[in-house]
Structure 1
Amino acid sequence: ADTTYTFRFVPQKDMFYVPWNGNDTELARLLECIENNKTTILDGKLPLLVDGYCNSLGSEAENLATAKIRANRVKSELIIRAEIKEENFITRNHATEGDFVTVRLTVPVKGTAATDAEARRKAETERLEAEKRAEQERLAEEQRKAEEARLAAEKAEAEKAAQQNTLADTPSETKITTDYHLSLRANLLRWATLTPDLGVEWRICPSWGIAVNGSWTSWTWSDKDHRYALWEVAPEVRYYMGEKKAWYLGAMFKAGQFNYKLSETGKQGDLMGGGITAGYQLRLNKALALDFNLGLGYLNADFEKYEVIDGVRVRRGNETKDWCGPINAGVTLVWKLF
């Protein structure tokens, strides 16, 4: 009698789950049949016909490869449990019909014509059930792919609409960012150190700007024995880059004077230098923005040292220092005037 045993697989997967979808019951039946005919099977007179099926992947090659793996997993299970060999199998793989593996044995039996008819009827019933299950799985897979295609189309449409909205908004955003000529500036880092700092920037065009910042402070304490005073002027030329003209590179010149006495010895003199700057302007609203910048370059300081004795400043010599490195840093509040 030709007996078929069917083992189900999850679509697109090659793992053989025994306790799933009736596989455990089918495996027990097959192992019993093998045990009853083991001698004939091992002698090579009764081969096990293994057919692997897969149609849930995108191409025929992928389906055939997965069908082969599935068939091998079923054979491995039988080799381990029933103690048979690879040569006892005849294997074929198919990229159609569904996601399952069948194992068939043609077991010779002695009986009446009625018994043969019953066996044929049972085999036909099993075949029809297998085809029915395969058709159900095929329809479910088609429905899944159709749903994925629908979701992908909706996502693409949403992305297209978002891109169109972005393109529509870009001109106005660019205009807000760059369409002005004069703005006031205040370096918040300077103000945080009790050093008032103000400046202006004239945007010649969207790509070029000229800025001038100035700082001034004068503090004394301990009956004027300690002092912190300075003034600086820093003109700068900037080139703005990018679609929104937010990033920039620039060239800065800096000059000023200082008078520091934070210990026994004070230092008073001039400073001068320059370098390159880089930064980014973050727009907060139509009128305000934050300017983050850093300058690297060279500074020269020429100063005299002094001490204060009985209220009289006594000179202690001159000194000159050169500095290469950071010469400016800022988190600047920008207020657009017009």
Structure 2
Amino acid sequence: MKRKLTIALLSLGLFAWAHAQEVGLKTNLPYLLTATPNVGVEFTVGIRSTLSISGSYNPFRLPVRERAAGQSYRPSLRHWSVKPEYKYWFCRSFERGYLGIHALYAEFNAGGISLIRPLREHRYEGRAYGAGISYGYQWAIGRRWGLETSIGAGYLRMDYSSYECPDCGKFTGRYTRDYFGPTKATLSLIYFIR
């Protein structure tokens, strides 16, 4: 599945580059701070509209930790996601503010993260999908560079399995959860190709 996602993102980027008036390559800086590589491509489809697709993938294994009782475990925050979005800009494409409609699909395997209470003693493995609306603003920081921030809210459905301990525990069940709330928060650095 990850290979197909990579091929789809590259194909979309090449198509956009060949046909759009302006194309931006972007990365979400907070994701990079959590060691999650991510990339996005955005291209104009009209004077005041753009389409973007971004993806992230965190395949890294965290170092082995030890509990107070002396047991060792390996925390996990592995995931991948894809997020398409349509943006309507108030001024012109890639200038100032916009309203957007976004979708999201992600798969995850997370547990043993002491800073996040539900992930401290359990591991969750599953998928999430949904959609929402967003507001964002973009600043030019050079001839070919931009900085964009956005926030969004909407609906997610999560289908997942739960396990007792962070890395190898007993299966405790399959669950479905509906979520309404924040679905997007970005601070992206953008490089414009055209």
TM-score (norm: length of structure 2): 0.75
Q: How does 1:148-297 map to 2 (within 5 A)?
A: 180-218=21-59, 219-222=61-64, 225-242=74-91, 245-262=95-112, 263-297=120-154
- Post-superposition Cα deviations, 1:224-254, rounded to whole Å, max 9, x if no partner, equal 6321111110000011112683211110010
Q: Which has the higher helix share?
A: 1
Q: Which residue of 2 aligns with 1:300?
A: 157
User: What CA distance in whole angstroms lies between the structure 1 residues aligned with 2:75 and 2:89?
Assistant: 43
CA contact (8 A) 2:48 2:91 kept: no
Q: Percent identity?
A: 28
Over 3 Å counting, the alpha-carbon distance change for 1:182 and 1:227 in structure 2 is: same
- Alpha-carbon offset, residue 204 of structure 1: 1.6
Q: Which residue of 2 aligns with 1:125?
A: none
Over 3 Å counting, the alpha-carbon distance change for 1:312 and 1:278 in structure 2 is: closer
Q: How does 1:23-62 map to 2 (within 5 A)?
A: none
CA contact (8 A) 2:58 2:78 kept: yes
User: What CA distance in whole angstroms lies between the structure 2 residues aligned with 1:194 and 1:184?
Assistant: 19
Q: Which residue of 1 aligns with 2:175?
A: 319
User: What CA distance in whole angstroms lies between the structure 2 residues aligned with 1:214 and 1:277?
Assistant: 17
Unmatched runs of 5 consecutive residues or more in structure 2: 1-19, 65-71, 113-119
- Alpha-carbon offset, residue 320 of structure 1: 1.7
Q: Which residue of 2 aligns with 1:145?
A: none
CA contact (8 A) 1:180 1:336 kept: no
- Post-superposition Cα deviations, 1:39-98, rounded to whole Å, max 9, x if no partner, equal xxxxxxxxxxxxxxxxxxxxxxxxxxxxxxxxxxxxxxxxxxxxxxxxxxxxxxxxxxxx
Structure 2: which amino acid aligns with 1:333? L
CA contact (8 A) 1:291 1:333 kept: yes
- Alpha-carbon offset, residue 209 of structure 1: 0.4
- Alpha-carbon offset, residue 205 of structure 1: 2.5
CA contact (8 A) 1:251 1:275 kept: yes
Over 3 Å counting, the alpha-carbon distance change for 1:255 and 1:243 in structure 2 is: closer
Q: Which has the higher contact order (CA 8 A, sep 6+)?
A: 2
Over 3 Å counting, the alpha-carbon distance change for 1:243 and 1:206 in structure 2 is: closer
Structure 1: which amino acid aligns with 2:75? H
Structure 2: which amino acid aligns with 1:306? Y
Q: How does 1:93-108 map to 2 (within 5 A)?
A: none
Unmatched runs of 5 consecutive residues or more in structure 1: 1-178
Over 3 Å counting, the alpha-carbon distance change for 1:229 and 1:192 in structure 2 is: same
Q: Helix, strand or coil: the match of 2:32?
A: helix
CA contact (8 A) 2:48 2:92 kept: no
User: What CA distance in whole angstroms lies between the structure 2 residues aligned with 1:261 and 1:243?
Assistant: 43
- Post-superposition Cα deviations, 1:248-295, rounded to whole Å, max 9, x if no partner, equal 111001001011112331001010011001101100011000011011
Q: Helix, strand or coil: the match of 1:189?
A: helix
User: What CA distance in whole angstroms lies between the structure 1 residues aligned with 2:162 and 2:58?
Assistant: 20
* Aligned residue-pair number: 159
- Alpha-carbon offset, residue 199 of structure 1: 0.4
219-228 or 205-214, which deviates more: 219-228
TM-score (norm: length of structure 1): 0.44
CA contact (8 A) 1:181 1:204 kept: no
Q: Which has the higher strand share?
A: 2
- Alpha-carbon offset, residue 180 of structure 1: 4.4
